[in-house]
Amino acid sequence: MNRFNPAVQPVSCPECHTGSSNMSERIQNAGIWGTVICSACSKGFEVATAIDEMFVLSDHSAYSLWTGGKLIFRPLTVTSGKTHLIDIRGIFDEVYLISPAFEKIRWLAGGCDIKYLQQGYVMVSIAPFPNEETVTLKGGCFIEGRTMTQPKLSSWKSVLLKAKLVMHESPELTIILAVNAVDLYIEELTGCEIGSSRPGSWSKAIKCHLNKSLKELIHHRATDIQDFVQLRNDIAHGRDYLFRLPRKLQRSEDKWLEMRHQMEDPTAFSPCSAFALRNALAIIRCCQRYIDNGKYIGVFV
């Protein structure tokens, strides 16, 4: 099979963050709410939880799995100092992520610039090398998005996707959008308008609709949900949020704030933004799991 087919991309274990394509059949048989034993660490994980964690970490194929979208690979040979176009016209209505995959590339400062053009092309520009040497690199790009024939995402999922897409550049916006996504999900689910007294207004609406409180559904994450909402409120009102965070998260965020401008990794993100995404995803996942009541739902579409 084509190794770039999203249907055979491994779902990564949320514990050890490894995946294997030979687990795909087990994952498909288990379905979204099923449990699979990781072939690497031998721990069991729920497939839905694993896909959510992949989405937070921007793992390969995570966007196409989480949105039900499409992942394609387009081979490309590039030459340093030149711009190249990849034609994807007629495939995607929206492009979520483009990931370069070139062999033996020597990254320079701003060495590879990739942009999606609304006309239906991916533009790949490779900077010239300092010694004016012309270098040819073979590889290509993985492209994830929503195809022309797929329905648009629900409003809450669209907002949560936007929260993820701005995570690296605007972590504060990610946190606010993550709360907004939960508001939208619960409003769509229950028909109740969510007030500002979160998480109480969330719990009240869920209790009326599912006869279960939010605390009953999320169990051990109740404290995290309180911290998640408080984090959003502090940021929205321009207050210092660090001192309210759990100690471990506070240390991680403080270190990230000190180092963010020195980091060369463009995929590095704020621990607080990841914390917000994980909690938003957990609330939605727990509600949906209860609604589906263990019903089999296939993973790969």
- Residue 188's SS3 state is helix
Residue 301 counted as domain residue: no
Which residues are within 8 A (CB) of 149 and not within 5 positions of it... i.e. 6 or more apart? none
Residue 301: predicted pLDDT: 44
236 and 180 share a domain? yes
Based on the number of CB atoms within 10 Å of its own CB, is 245 exposed (0-12), middle (13-18) or buried (19 or more)? buried
What pairs with residue 121 in β-bridges?
Answer: 87, 117
pLDDT(289) > 60: yes
Average per-residue pLDDT for the chain: 86
At 260, list the tokens: 């963010």
- Residue 38's SS3 state is coil
50 and 91 share a domain? no
162 and 59 share a domain? no
Burial 95-123 (b: 16+ CB within 10 A, else e): bbbbbbebeebeeeeeeeeeebeeeeebe
Residue 171 counted as domain residue: yes
Q: Give residue-wise pLDDT tens across range 226-268.
A: 999 999 999 999 998 888 888 899 999 988 888 876 665 556 7
> Is the Cβ–Cβ distance between 96 and 63 less than 8 Å?
yes
Residue 300 counted as domain residue: no
288 and 168 share a domain? yes
- Measure the CA–CA gap between 178 and 99, rounded to whole angstroms: 24
Which residues are within 8 A (CB) of 118 and not within 5 positions of it... i.e. 6 or more apart? none
Residue 100: predicted pLDDT: 84
Question: What total number of domains does the chain contain?
Answer: 3
- Residue 113's SS3 state is strand
Q: Give residue-wise pLDDT tens across range 174-218.
A: 999 999 999 999 999 999 999 889 999 999 999 999 999 999 999
Domain boundary among the residues 96, 116, 147 is at 147
CA atoms within 13 A on the CB side of 250: 9
Q: Cite the beta strand spans of the chain per DSSP E.
A: 35-37, 44-46, 70-79, 83-87, 92-102, 112-117, 121-126, 136-147
Q: Give residue-wise pLDDT tens across range 153-180.
A: 999 999 999 999 999 889 999 999 999 9
Q: Give residue-wise pLDDT tens across range 107-156.
A: 444 567 889 998 999 999 887 776 667 778 888 899 999 998 989 999 99
Domain carrying residue 97: 71-147
Residue 24: predicted pLDDT: 80
Q: Give residue-wise pLDDT tens across range 47-102.
A: 999 999 999 998 878 998 899 899 999 998 888 888 899 999 999 999 999 988 87
